[in-house]
A and B are shown apart, each in its own frame.
Chain A
Amino acid sequence: MNRKAEVKNLNFSYSHSALVLKSVSLPIFENKITALIGPSGCGKTTLLRCFNRMHDLYGNVKYDGSILLLPDQVNILSTDIDPIEVRMKIGMVFQKPNPFPKSIYENIAYGLRIRGIKKKSYIDEKVEDSLKMAGLWQEVSDRLHTGANSLSGGQQQRLCIARALATEPDILLLDEPTSALDPISTAHIEELVASLKKKVTILMVTHNLHQAARTADYTAFMYLGELIEFGESSQIFTNPKEQKTENYITGRFG
């Protein structure tokens, strides 16, 4: 099994307060879905946002350790690496669907246009491909040029996934992608995510344990900034090695 990335001894803190991530290490396997679970404030979203250097936008953060992108062994947390180039390679989908106030077409074209791609035929093709991958093509192919805000919440989230896919990221980060959606839309997104792993490596934060158990190949349980346990989802959810993991997945806290 190939590793796509490797987190090594990652420490993280906001300004001078206590560590939010304490020496976290875990592998991310290629073309697999890895779920990060744990109670609120355990650092799972902070860890996710390290992967595309979102923290760099706000300053006032301190981190050390590394996230190596394999096979090149490049540490994307290094100060020598431009965060914009990192974000070009690692896509992200947010909790709340956040389509831009543009047409459906332009939402997906945006990522290509900011990379300097102008060729219309190529963009057309990419828009269609990504919408198909996101399972949205049939619903919107006849109204690509209407505003993205006319879509339902679930459709908007699939549009955001299509938008991230259009730029062919190495890793796709999902930050609780279904927490703002109804159960039916959630089921759609879960199916979609499961089908996407053939093309892209996925790292997903979720509050929904069933979602992690259903969709993720690997699950990492975090608690108070530490990685308590990492393993195949089937093992984590049926036969956890750590007492804390068991307490959490059986609903005794969190």
Chain B
Amino acid sequence: MKTEFSTPHSTKRRFRVLKEFLIKAFLFICAASSVLVTVGVVWTLVVEALPFFDDVSLSQFLFDREWTPLFENAQYGIMTLVCGTLLTTVIALLVAIPLGTITAVFLSEYSSEKMREIFKPILELLAAIPTVVYGYFAMLFVTPLLQKIIPGISSFNALSAGLVMGVMIIPYISSLSEDAMRAVPLHLREGSLALGASKFQTSFRVILPAAFSGVASAYILGISRALGETMVVAIAAGLQPRLSFNPLESTQTITAFIVQVSLGDLPQGSIGYRSIYVSGLVLLIFTLVFNLIGQLIRSNMEKKFK
């Protein structure tokens, strides 16, 4: 029997090549759309933010001690908002990283299959609660509780917002870290235990370092979430920009400022309008920098140990 191959110009073959090309083009467009959106967002931010510096000098922006772009006697000290953002983020991470990591260790190394089946959905429910609910939880439950323990704490404060935000981030960190730890091969676990190590030593000295790359990703995600979180801080931390790291006072984060100002009517092109974009840009830069630092640490660790 003769084996038949199509010739390069046969209709059948041309159609097949065209089909493959269309599929590839379609997949490319889908994949490129998110890249395009990102580029578009950054572009808009930069274009709208840059004219801000026509009116405000960079030194004012960096060194003014207050942020009052909408006042008669406007001041543009972005560091006040940066202070608020970093303060709430640090408080949140102080809660979320230890608790999230310990939860992951428990779920991955200690809990039985049954226990994990109960724990995981409940933990993931934490992530499903709308952030506005967390905000009111912070303001109406945690703050009064804190006021009983720490007299003199203001009714809007960074501490309460940060703590609640931390709880909110726990499932992000624990879930990803747990996946990373469970992916550590069994023979590493057995290798440690066979040397006479306890479960605790194995978990923290072998499994956690082995899963570090995944755990670091979880931390980075947690940091990004905390930096960008809006509702909780807008509701519970107050709307008072402050150049201070006192967690007991009210403060304002970059995100909270944007919400506050966006809700009002601002004439397009006004300095107040520009201030939204410029603070958004600063936030973006922060998130980017933390992401980069995280990536660096991760690839460093990988090089060292892989």
Chain A residues in contact with chain B, CB under 8 A? 52, 54, 57, 84-85, 87-88, 91-92, 94-96, 98, 100-103, 110-111, 113-115, 147, 149, 160, 163-164, 167
Contacts and interface: CB of A to CB of B under 8 A. Distances in A.
Interface in B200-214: 201, 205-206, 209-210, 212
Given A102-B209, A102-B305, A147-B304, A87 B193 contact: yes
A200 to B, nearest CB: 15
Given A84-B198, A110-B205, A96 B187 contact: yes
Given A98-B187, A102-B305, A110-B205, A84 B194 contact: no
A103 B192 CA distance: 15
Given A85-B196, A100-B191, 20 more contacts: A54-B193, A57-B190, A57-B193, A84-B198, A88-B195, A91-B194, A94-B187, A96-B187, A98-B188, A100-B188, A100-B206, A101-B206, A101-B306, A110-B195, A110-B205, A111-B195, A114-B196, A147-B304, A163-B195, A167-B195
B58 interface: no
Nearest to B187: A98
A91 B195 contact: yes
Contact of B305 (A54, A87, A101, A167): A101
B197 interface: yes
Main secondary structure of the interface of B (DSSP, over half): helix
Contacts of B209: 100-102
A168 B198 CA distance: 18
Contact of B306 (A52, A57, A149, A164): A149
A160 B198 CA distance: 19
Interface of B: 185, 187-188, 190-198, 201, 205-206, 209-210, 212, 303-306
What 9 A-B pairs come out closest when comparing CB atoms? A88-B196, A92-B194, A101-B305, A98-B191, A87-B196, A98-B187, A111-B195, A101-B210, A147-B305
A115 B198 CA distance: 10
Nearest to A85: B196
| Residue among B185, B193, B303 with the highest chain A CB neighbour number at 10 A | B193
A102 B210 CA distance: 8
A69 B209 CA distance: 35
Given A94-B187, A114-B201, A100 B196 contact: no
A92 B197 CA distance: 13
A94 B188 CA distance: 10
B210 A100 contact: yes
A116 to B, nearest CB: 11
Contacts of B190: 54, 57, 94, 98
Nearest to B191: A98
Contacts of A103: 304
Contacts of B194: 52, 54, 87, 91-92, 94, 164
Contacts of B192: 100, 110
A114 B200 CA distance: 10
